[in-house]
Structure 1
Amino acid sequence: MEDWKMPSYHYSQGTKLALNMIIMGFLVKIIRKEWLTHNVIQFVLERPKEFQCSIGDAVDIILEPSGPKQRSAPFTLTNLPDSTVLELIIKVYPDRKGFTAALSKKEIGDTLDISEAWRSFEYLGKGTFIAAGSGITPFIPMIKEAKRRGTLSGHKLIYANRNLEDIILKNELEEFLGLHCCNILSRERAAGYAHGRIDRKYLNSRVTEPDQYFYVCGPDAFSQNVKGLLMNLGVKERNIQIGY
């Protein structure tokens, strides 16, 4: 097994509370902020020397950690483990005036409270990534690392969005994966892009190796639906991985 596929035995904040374990937190500074799409931000953060992470890990961001309105939410790290910085890609829902809207107001020089890294996904081997919207984030470091190692051949991405402008890191993903980057749009019709939703017919036309691994991430209803469709196509449940 390649070293980057080894599991990182980390736990989510909620799990640590349940196990009565000590939770280590980090106060990190925002060193870059970039809008990747009309509603998606990338934060680049200073990385503490003692911070450890593996591909597929996530962190909890805590807002108002010392106040009565403390809130937290999980986000996947998109940097590689040996990076000198931490990267987070966050979809913002301004109309809800909630957690991500508050995060979007953070600027360069501000700080964020984050938890230790904990495992969200584990890379097991070549396969197909199936994502909806910001569900692409856990797969970004996997694709980057496979590209860096020259082992990207044999991977495929099926990526669902409403419109062309919603596709996160569109150019990079299409450059890395070429014809194996399968974008599908549910609202907009665009030349060269499939239109519709990920259903049995669509998956049947894309799933050519049911014995490979399938990594699925998106809203819970999306993930459960795709899992069921894959199993109906003969994919074994043990080969399907769904994150937090």
Structure 2
Amino acid sequence: MLQEKTIAVIKATIPVLEVHGEAITRRFYERLFEAHPELLNVFNINNQRQGRQQAALANAVYAAAVHIEKLDAIIPVVKQIGAKHRSLGVLPEHYPIVGEHLLGAMRDVLQESATDEIIAAWAEAYGIIAQAFIDVEKEMYEEAVKQPGGWEGLRSFRIARRVKESDVIDSFYLEPLDQKPIASYQPGQYLTLQLKAPGVDYAQMRHYSLSDSPNKSYYRISVKREDERDATPGGLISRYIHSLAVGDTVEVAAPAGEFIIEENNHPLTLLSGGVGMTPFMSYLNTAAERLSNRSIVWIHAALNGDVHAFADESNQLAQRLANLTKRVVYERPTARDEQEKRFDAKGYITADVLREAGFRPDGLFYICGPESFMRAMYRLLTQLGVKEKNISFEFFGPASSIEAQAVAN
């Protein structure tokens, strides 16, 4: 428990964090990588370059300050981030390193405003928050190892099969080199791959949703190739994965993730954009195998049919699941899309599209796709009266506040 004096000091720093939060986190990462360049193996280079990791950490520090009187409020976020930490190999000994450089960054940026009292208060708070992460992650590490087919750290897998799903998305079927059983998972979870692309000094870790039902002899992930376009650089690692062939090996951490789409009797609506359909493919394949009679609405948005992955497989799922209502929305359909009537609506997912598909505001809603897509869907659902507690979302950039950004935009 934090002392009352500590709480008061930290709450007094909230206005400062609003102004200087990102400057502090930028300086933090500079200090961290200068002292410990080996940790570049853990962090996404693109997110660092684009400032997304710095902004996300600033949001997390700000949230900790706002909820400092009741840190239990951030436990769901701790579990979500903790799952990614476990898959990345973050260990208890890393937390003192992070604490040292975060406090050092506060001193560097705030200078004389960072009094000994403020630094001491944040040191005390950081110790409690870090311990919450360590405790949650300890359980996750133990679960990953002890489950049937589980393992510790990284395990070598062979690309056994590769399937082109669209112009930009390929599926990779991964089988363990040791030919031993592999851990099961829950629909919505992901694999973490460690990859060393040519010309890059450090290995990179990336998360990819599992896109098939569990309890098979392989894992399937489906990866979008992020090409360079306009002024936006391409995805270094996604392009590297697309250069791999059948027979190549990759290093893989055991399945993880808190975006779990559980089977129950609540009406379910799945909203996906682009490659964000992958966790829903896992769920729907699982539901079809279990002969689920749950009421499900699935609305998928894509640019057009050329980049729409799993079109045939999703149509087959719709035939197998009698209570599945599936709708496809293309932003800019091609002439072929128009001719073959490969979509149900043109433009974007709107309130009318939701209502036509059987919108139930009292149901459960899961969103996955680009961050801008999720902000738009979150805003739309809340405007239509859906309670925030009934909306779940997943994306693989740094942790961000989809809710706050949706309201602001």
Kindly report which structure 2 residues correspond to 1:177-196, keeping only aligned pairs within 5 A, or say none.
177=318, 180-188=325-333, 190=338, 191=341, 193-196=344-347
Q: Which has the higher strand share?
A: 1
Higher-Rg member (1/2): 2
The residue number in structure 2 matching 1:7 is none
Q: Which has the higher helix share?
A: 2
* Structure 1 counterpart of 2:239, from 95, 101, 108: 101
How far apart are the structure 2 equivalents of 1:184 and 1:138? 18
The residue number in structure 2 matching 1:56 is 188
The residue number in structure 2 matching 1:144 is 285
How far apart are the structure 2 equivalents of 1:217 and 1:196? 18
TM-score (normalizing by structure 1): 0.87
What is the one-letter code of the residue matched to 2:238?
Answer: T
Deviation of 1:134 (Å) = 0.3
The residue number in structure 2 matching 1:202 is 353
Bigger mean CA deviation after superposition, 138-147 or 193-202: 193-202
How far apart are the structure 2 equivalents of 1:90 and 1:152? 30
> Aligned pair count?
236
Q: Do the aligned partners of 1:215 and 1:241 also contact (CA within 8 Å) in 2? A: yes
Question: Residue 187 and residue 152 in structure 1: after superposition, are their counterparts in 2 closer, same or farther (change >3 A)?
Answer: farther
State the 4+ residue runs in structure 1 displaced beyond 4 angstroms.
18-23
The residue number in structure 1 matching 2:171 is 42
How far apart are the structure 2 equivalents of 1:24 and 1:68? 21
Question: Residue 120 and residue 105 in structure 1: after superposition, are their counterparts in 2 closer, same or farther (change >3 A)?
Answer: farther
Q: Provide the secondary structure at the position in 1 that maps to 2:160.
A: strand
* Structure 1 counterpart of 2:210, from 32, 53, 77: 77
Identity %: 21
TM-score (normalizing by structure 2): 0.53
The residue number in structure 2 matching 1:216 is 367
How far apart are the structure 2 equivalents of 1:161 and 1:19? 41
Bigger mean CA deviation after superposition, 201-210 or 75-84: 201-210
What is the one-letter code of the residue matched to 1:209?
Answer: R
Q: Do the aligned partners of 2:301 and 2:328 also contact (CA within 8 Å) in 1? A: yes
Structural RMSD (CA): 2.6
1:137-174 per-residue CA deviation (whole Å, 9 max, x = no partner) reads 01111101111111155111100001112211111212
Question: Residue 91 and residue 152 in structure 1: after superposition, are their counterparts in 2 closer, same or farther (change >3 A)?
Answer: farther
By relative contact order (CA 8 Å, sep 6+), the higher-ranking structure is 1
Gapped runs of 5+ residues in structure 1? Answer: 1-9
Question: Residue 97 and residue 154 in structure 1: after superposition, are their counterparts in 2 closer, same or farther (change >3 A)?
Answer: closer
